[in-house]
Structure 1
Amino acid sequence: MFVVYILYSPKFDRFYVGMSSSFKDRLKSHNSGQVKSTKAFTPWELFHSEDYPTRIEARFREKYFKTSAGRRWRKDNLGM
């Protein structure tokens, strides 16, 4: 099982989209500063997540969330 997730940093008002097969461990690594792209904006909290049975499906959704159409969908459906 793979999870596509959107994290939010309330301190910096920033969002991050990612994918993992082990979400809890991945969130810990984001918050402990082990991920280069997110370490400057800790702490992170889960804003939204979706489960997918395959890596291919999860990666497709993650890439969609990072497009302009995906950002519009997130704004319209998640209130981002």
Structure 2
Amino acid sequence: MELNVKYVYILESLDGQQHYTGITADLKARLSKHNAGEVTHTAKFRPWQIKSYFAFNDEAKAWAFEKYLKTASGRAFAKKRL
């Protein structure tokens, strides 16, 4: 049985002023794309570092958690707890 792991991640710009939340199956490759300027939403705030990440075996739960983290209450939770 092959696991289809999804990672929900929070990136932080090196100055600590910007954050970005996303989802991917390959965390290292995705971080490289962010830092290479290949992601429109993050290109102008490079370089990025991983602040937090969470692995999910259930893709639906991963998408739901990413969606939550992008809400006002999710951002407040992440700022306070992560």
Q: Can you list the C-alpha shifts for 1:14-54, whole angstroms capped at 9, x where unaligned?
A: 00000000111000000000001101110000000000012
Equivalent residues, number: 78
Aligned partners of 1:11 and 1:43 also within 8 Å: no
Q: Which residue of 2 aligns with 1:40?
A: 44
What letter matches 2:77 in structure 1?
W
In angstroms, what is the RMSD of aligned CA positions? 1.1
Quote the Cα distance in structure 1 between the aligned partners of 2:34 and 2:68: 21
Percentage identity across paired residues of the two chains: 36
Quote the Cα distance in structure 1 between the aligned partners of 2:66 and 2:41: 16
Equivalent residue runs for 1:10-29 within 5 Å: 10-11=14-15, 13-29=17-33
Note the C-alpha offset of 1:76: 2.1
Equivalent residue runs for 1:1-80 within 5 Å: 1-11=5-15, 13-78=17-82
What letter matches 1:63 in structure 2?
K
Bigger Rg, structure 1 or 2? 2
TM-score (norm 1): 0.91
Aligned partners of 1:11 and 1:41 also within 8 Å: no
Q: Which structure 2 segments of 5+ residues have no match?
A: none
Quote the Cα distance in structure 2 between the aligned partners of 1:26 and 1:54: 19
TM-score (norm 2): 0.89
Note the C-alpha offset of 1:71: 1.1
Q: Which structure 1 segments of 5+ residues have no match?
A: none
3-state SS of the aligned residue for 1:3? strand
